[in-house]
Amino acid sequence: MKGLNIIVLAKQVPDTRNVGKDAMKANGTVNRSALPAIFNPEDLLALEQALRLKDQYPGSTVTVTTMGPIRAANILRDSIFRGADKGILITDKKFAGSDTLATSYVLSLALKKLAPFDIILCGRQAIDGDTAQVGPQVAEKLKIPQITYVEDILEVKNKQIIAKRRLTNGVETLQGNLPILLTVHGSAPTCRTQNARRLMKYKHACTPSEMNNEQEDYIKMHDQKHYLDLVEWNVDDLQAEETYLGLNGSPTKVNAVTNIVFTAKESTVLEPTDQAIDELMAELVEHHNVG
């Protein structure tokens, strides 16, 4: 079998899992700047599945694609250090405010540029939104089948894939025709670590926008070593229609946002009276800690 063309869709996200008391401002709102930007955990699991396929089917290539601000190139470098072949950053101010539908539109255009591909892998969901929508929406836009919540790929043969998926109450093994999109579940194996040799070789990899701020000798080095170039695409490169982008292209709008306020940093001590407990419960209900 000739190698597979595998694309991984990844996202850089604020680490919402570590929103403890220290990541909350005094007024109880989330202090976003205190949250580190990380590789979305389930996307990292998707990368591992891609790298396993590459190990298993020689001649395969793994391309990691992300949409986001310029600093999202960090997760492309991270992917390359771990074994990916290529990184593509999709970035443009016009993408700002995109909901899942607008995001999947842009990603589907990028994927059409990367066609023909065999397998698209992405995490089930991103921890900053938890919607789990972008994967299936991309698959629909490309008119290809999907298998969600994959935790293991058993075989790729004769233009077909067999994968095991995790449901809330069980497991299913499915067979699907390529090309196909798979979303990877949190129960899949963790991603391999960065490879020291690759890290040395690719540590200066960057996108054209990142290069703009660099010194001349750095630019010269890139002229000689083209493997350090990360690809960057904007609205024009993708020939995207502006009506489908950003806030305008996003049918969902935010009507209101309520912070869940953590008021007590020091313990509030309550007597076990009916009134005290009623008041506590009322506060929990009101702040959506319960209910």
Partner 1 sequence: MNNVFIYCETDHGKPAEVSLEIITKGRSLADQIGARVEVIVLGHGLKNIDQELFDYGADIVHIGDHKNLDPYLTLPHASIVAGIFEQEKPRIGLFGATSIGRDLAPRVSSQLKCGLTADCTELVIGDHFDKKQNKQHKDLLLQRRPAFGGNIIATIVTPDTLPQLATVREGVMRKEKYENIRKGKVVKINVDDYVKKEALAVKIIERHIEKKELNLKNSNIVVAGGYGVGSKENFRLLYDLAGILGGEVGASRAAVDAGFEVHDRQIGQTGMTVRPKLYIACGISGQIQHTAGMDKSAMVIAINKDPHAPINKLADYVITGDVAKVIPKMIKYYKEHTK
In the region spanning residues 83 to 122, those forming contacts with partner 1, defined by CB under 8 A, are 99-101, 104
Task: Name residue 38's beta-bridge partners.
Answer: 13
Question: Parallel, antiparallel, or unpaired for β 119-123 and 146-157?
Answer: unpaired
Nearer residue to partner 1 within complex by CB, 196 or 254: 254
**Total residues contacting partner 1 (rule CB under 8 A)?**
79
Question: How far apart, in whole angstroms, are the C-alpha atoms of residue 159 and residue 142?
Answer: 17
User: What is the separation of C-alpha 174 from the centre of its chain, rounded to a whole number of angstroms?
Assistant: 24
Instruction: Please list every residue from 230 through 249 that binds partner 1, using CB under 8 A.
Output: none
Instruction: Please list every residue from 26 through 55 that binds partner 1, using CB under 8 A.
Output: 30
Q: Which stretch binds partner 1 (CB under 8 A): 2-10, 112-120, 127-135, 208-216?
A: 127-135
Query: In the bound complex, what is the minimum distance in angstroms from residue 118's beta carbon to partner 1?
Result: 14
Query: In the bound complex, what is the minimum distance in angstroms from residue 185's beta carbon to partner 1?
Result: 10
Taking every pair of Cα atoms in the chain, the longest distance, rounded to a whole number of angstroms, is 76
DSSP structure string for 91-156 = --GGGTT--HHHHHHHHHHHHHHH-S-SEEEEES--TTT----HHHHHHHHHT--EEEEEEEEEEE
Q: Contact at 8 Å (CB) between 100 and 160?
A: no
Q: Does the footprint of partner 1 cover residue 253 (CB under 8 A)?
A: yes
Q: Contact at 8 Å (CB) between 74 and 12?
A: yes
Instruction: Please list every residue from 131 through 190 that binds partner 1, using CB under 8 A.
Output: 131-137, 139-141, 143, 145-149, 162, 167-177, 180
Q: Interface mask (CB under 8 A) for partner 1, residues 259-278, using x and -?
A: xx-xxxx-xxxxxx-x-xxx
Q: Contact at 8 Å (CB) between 95 and 106?
A: yes
Local structure of 232: helix, strand or coil: strand
Nearer residue to partner 1 within complex by CB, 19 or 70: 19
**C-alpha distances in angstroms, 69 versus 32, 168, 279?**
16, 34, 45
Per CB under 8 A, the list member of 128, 210, 229, 237 interacting with partner 1 is 128
Nearer residue to partner 1 within complex by CB, 217 or 271: 271
Q: Contact at 8 Å (CB) between 10 and 122?
A: yes
Amino acid in position 204: H
Nearer residue to partner 1 within complex by CB, 30 or 70: 30
- The two tokens of residue 162 are 């067999």
Query: In the bound complex, what is the minimum distance in angstroms from residue 101's beta carbon to partner 1?
Result: 7
**C-alpha distances in angstroms, 80 versus 188, 204, 268, 269?**
20, 11, 49, 52
Query: In the bound complex, what is the minimum distance in angstroms from residue 33's beta carbon to partner 1?
Result: 14
Nearer residue to partner 1 within complex by CB, 107 or 191: 107
Per CB under 8 A, the list member of 1, 3, 18, 189 interacting with partner 1 is 18
Nearer residue to partner 1 within complex by CB, 35 or 114: 35
Question: Parallel, antiparallel, or unpaired for β 37-39 and 61-67?
Answer: unpaired
Query: In the bound complex, what is the minimum distance in angstroms from residue 83's beta carbon to partner 1?
Result: 28
Query: In the bound complex, what is the minimum distance in angstroms from residue 75's beta carbon to partner 1?
Result: 18
Query: In the bound complex, what is the minimum distance in angstroms from residue 82's beta carbon to partner 1?
Result: 25
Query: In the bound complex, what is the minimum distance in angstroms from residue 159's beta carbon to partner 1?
Result: 11
Instruction: Please list every residue from 206 through 225 that binds partner 1, using CB under 8 A.
Output: none
